[in-house]
Structure 1
Amino acid sequence: MSQHAPADETARIGTDPAAFESFYRAHITAVQHFVARRVAEPYEAADLVAEVFLAAIGSAKSYRASRGTPRNWLYGVARNVILAERRRRAREWAGASRDAGMRRLDPDDLTRAEERVDAAAGSRALYEAMDGLPRGERAVLELVALDGLDVVEAARVLGLRPGTARVRLHRARRRVGGELSTPPVMVATTGEARS
């Protein structure tokens, strides 16, 4: 299944195991990179990737091709899962220890997760430089600079007009530019270098 799969194929991932397997294989690497750029802990990254696909299964019927590609829709799902986890963790930190209930990874899974986290270190440096940005500007910049979407795709993921996304991107780049001494080189999932 390509990132441009028909809407009915993406909508079937919630009910058709073969459609889900194809969807999973087509998008697992992109989702792992998306999460690794935002999460430094390998265990947490692995758990969040699994949660992203569970959430995608649960909301597959809501996918609309008119709002973007399956990959972009999945990035929106991943973004929501990560934000929900951050809110949950903030509540948990207020009262309880977060150590309970973590699933164990076998050594090979941990090694692969650590490699992804290490590979995404440059992206995380940019992500940390964006901490002072307003939420809307940061979200557009993340999707464009870190995830390789164009402005129109990022606008669709965020439910914005393309013009609004362009303005937010311009402001974010201007504000973050002074915080980074040299811009990191991003590598898109297609293998082409981005700056």
Structure 2
Amino acid sequence: AADLTADVFLAARGSASGYRPDRGAPVARLFGIARNVLSGHARGLARESGAPARLSGRRLLGDEDVAALEERIDAQRAFRALAEQHAALSEPLRAALDLVVLDQLTPAEAARALGVTQATVRVRLHRARRALRGSAPAQRPVRETHLEVAR
């Protein structure tokens, strides 16, 4: 508090030549200077306290961390590939697949929703699965396990 008070009066003395009595009372000017000094001090404290936090948030990655990042990157890559394959399906195949796999409807329920026969839905599911497997990389996509359940 004593340091801040000293800083306020030093700032007031340093800017005394710019004081104009027609712009307000001297005490109002002193309060304005105090507000500016105090806010400058608060900004400085925020910068000082933020620096260690920014520096402490950085550390070297261990082997486990690198492996976890590689797994996430591989999973993202596989997801993007599967999403592209899904988007490449024709609308009827994609609609049947989405209803059964994503919305977890039975083929009979999907057939009613699409206004087609159950056999048509089963054929579309078979074609969609075959298309996804045919263009899939050597690894099986993560979502393919859900395709097996939907049969």
TM-score (norm 1): 0.30
The structure having more radius of gyration, on CA atoms, is 2
TM-score (norm 2): 0.38
